[in-house]
Amino acid sequence: MTTRIFPTAQDAENAFYEALERNDLALMMAVWAEDEDIVCVHPTGPRLAGQEQVRDSWRKIFASGQRLRFQIVQQVKIAGVMIVVHSAQEIITVIGEQRPRPAVVATNVYLRTAAGWRMIVHHTSPAPGASAEPTPEVPKILH
């Protein structure tokens, strides 16, 4: 059981991306709910469910040794009392490469638990027609 407390869903999300950039499996798993009903889908990968599959997938990714940087753009947050959904595009750059990789679409779902906010779903897929260059933020206009 983890002792790390995330007071907000945004705190959990910040720790998630920090874990990705540091290749830190312990921090990554501290973000996830300690539940067998968690789900993770990496770009072009299969649906992984449960602690064992999710932990194993991150272990393999981090073992590659690649260091990544993430820029989160076009983020939309949907918040309820017990659940928060973040949808965004991730612009990923591999340290040492000059250009970012094509963007991926990410959906992160967080659940409020007795131990603070925890991730229960991380789903990423290639962004259709995505460019590797970040797009400028467009103001929201209601009609």
Spatial contact of 90 and 71, defined as CB atoms under 8 Å apart: yes
Which class does domain 9-113 fall in?
alpha beta
Name the 3-class secondary structure at 127. Answer: coil
Q: Write out pLDDT tens, residues 28-37.
A: 999 999 989 9
Name the 3-class secondary structure at 92. Answer: strand
Q: Write out pLDDT tens, residues 56-76.
A: 999 999 999 889 999 999 999
Q: What distance in Å separates the CA atoms of residue 86 and residue 82, rounded to the nearest whole number?
A: 14
